Chains A and B, each alone.
Chain A
Amino acid sequence: MAVKVVVMGCGRVGARVAGILDHNGHDVSVIDVDSRSFRRLPTDYRGDTIIGTGIDEDVLRAAGIGRAAAFVAVADGDNQNIMAAQVARLVFNVPEVVCRIYDPVREDTYRRLGLTTICPTTTVSAMILDHVIGAASPIGVARGDGSGGEG
């Protein structure tokens, strides 16, 4: 079933997520402050592109957040993603909100507050460490407690 998805941030990740969702027949709107970012989208992308910041309720509304089944916050600032994700969840009641946060401590705080968060820093570090010191426990690394490296 096709659903409405709003993606904030048209960097490498945002453009890829938006492109794949669009290719799979979903109704996609992608938001970015810089119109040049939309060049990253696949040439056959048929979804909407909206210039603006996702922390502005009016911009989110223009992107169709009112009827969105999911909101993806992958702009380049942690705080921007955090704020937009909370707006999507609390103001617009979007059922599925995913928020990228690079700072592991901040990610932990907002995960506890109930946001669905993804921290590339911990996941990528864990994957790298897994290759470098095969015995590393990814769980320890992901927890950021330093135990992974010693395991």
Chain B
Amino acid sequence: MYIIVVGGGKVGYYLTKTLLEEGHEVLLIERSTDKVETFVEHFGAVVIAGDGAEAATLAAAGAARADVVIAVTGEDEDNLVVCQTARQKFHVGRTIARVNNPKNEHLFRLLGIDVTVSQTNYILNLIEQAIPERSFVHVLNLRHADLAIVEARIAASSVVAHKAIGEVALPVDCVIAAVARGAHLIIPTPATELEPGDDVIAVTRPEQEDELRRLLCIEC
């Protein structure tokens, strides 16, 4: 694949390195000429100096034949314009933008960016999962289906404690996919009883996360 990476910060640098190692044709666009000189020493002639949001730079980079354009600068507005220009002017099939402000993830999708990557959100999620006392954790967003996977610990005070899953009135569009009890992972049936301390893995619509949280772990 021919991949254009815009932005030579840490993310852009390691992304370019990895993609090259995987055998892809890569071109890195970086604004600072000093950085470009260093990168050329590392990577060879696959780095050009320029503003990736400028159509002339993208044209010089051969954006018209690029399979993917990835914008990973530290500024959301620059990443947005790089991707929109790639798409509108060069008809690039797939555009990926790094989102620095997590709030912009939704907005970027609204504005036609194929994939957004929010490292802030990833790190927040990883930290959330690593905090032992948290009883309700958002594990993953399944973007295309607009679903989320969450992990919740059943509280002793929860109305669902000691109840069979079949008897629990879960929010609509919400499924309990697995129950972890100590070292055992149970694939539940409607007859499976939920015990306090169980870790429940559930698939839900993101907007129902709060309702699910209240139901399973009132203490949190």
Contacts and interface: CB of A to CB of B under 8 A. Distances in A.
A27 interface: no
A103 B89 CA distance: 14
Contacts of B78: 79
Contact of B88 (A56, A80, A103, A109): A109
A105 interface: yes
Contact of B80 (A56, A82, A91, A105): A82
A101 B215 CA distance: 51
Contact of A57 (B80, B85, B103): B103
A55 interface: yes
Interface string B87-120: 0110000000000010110010011000000000
B77 interface: yes
Nearest to A87: B107
B55 A79 contact: no
Contact of A79 (B81, B89, B101, B111): B81
A49 interface: no
A113 B76 contact: no
The B contact surface, by secondary structure, is helix
| Interface size bracket, B side | 20 to 34
A53 to B, nearest CB: 9
A87 B103 CA distance: 12
Interface of B: 53-56, 75-78, 80-81, 84-85, 88-89, 101, 103-104, 107, 110-111
19 contacts: A55-B76, A56-B103, A77-B77, A79-B75, A79-B77, A80-B77, A82-B80, A82-B81, A83-B76, A83-B77, A84-B77, A87-B107, A91-B107, A106-B53, A106-B55, A106-B81, A109-B88, A112-B88, A113-B88
